[in-house]
Amino acid sequence: MSDVPIHSLEAIVARLRQQAEEELMRITVHAHQEMVEEHISLDDVVSVLLQATVVENYPEHRRGACCLVCGQTRTGRYLHVVCTTALDLAIIITVYEPKLPKWVDPFTRGQR
């Protein structure tokens, strides 16, 4: 893998799956805090990345290319994961359960 931006959603998903399979991930302090608060395990994050759907892609983000993905845990709980998309290591920026009022459903934004 190289440190070049990826713009194809299929390529992003393939890279995230590979990184999850190979455990090439780093959890930020913020993401870890969210995981603790919302009772989200590392296994949950891996499950989401293994079958992720890109909800929003931010290839030109000021801090580096990243995206918001959605997927389900093994128990069927929908989670959002924001992570990098252009590094050899997936940096997990934040993890949370999409809820009203910000999210109507796991794939549709609500009020801003």
DSSP summary character for residue 105:
E
Q: φ, ψ for residue 84 (rounded to 5)?
A: -70, 160
CA atoms within 13 A on the CB side of 58: 13
Tokens of 106: 């796991």
- The domain spans of the chain are 9-104
Its pTM stands at 0.90
Q: List the chain pLDDT tens, one digit each, 112 residues.
A: 444 445 689 999 999 999 999 999 999 999 999 999 999 999 999 999 999 999 999 999 888 999 999 999 999 999 999 999 999 999 999 999 999 899 999 999 987 6
Tokens of 87: 């590094």
CATH number belonging to the domain at 9-104, selected among 3.90.1150, 3.30.2310, 2.60.40, 1.20.120: 3.30.2310
- β-bridge mates for residue 52, sequence order: none
Q: φ, ψ for residue 2 (rounded to 5)?
A: -120, 165
DSSP per-residue string spanning 22-39: TT-EEE-HHHHHHHHHTT
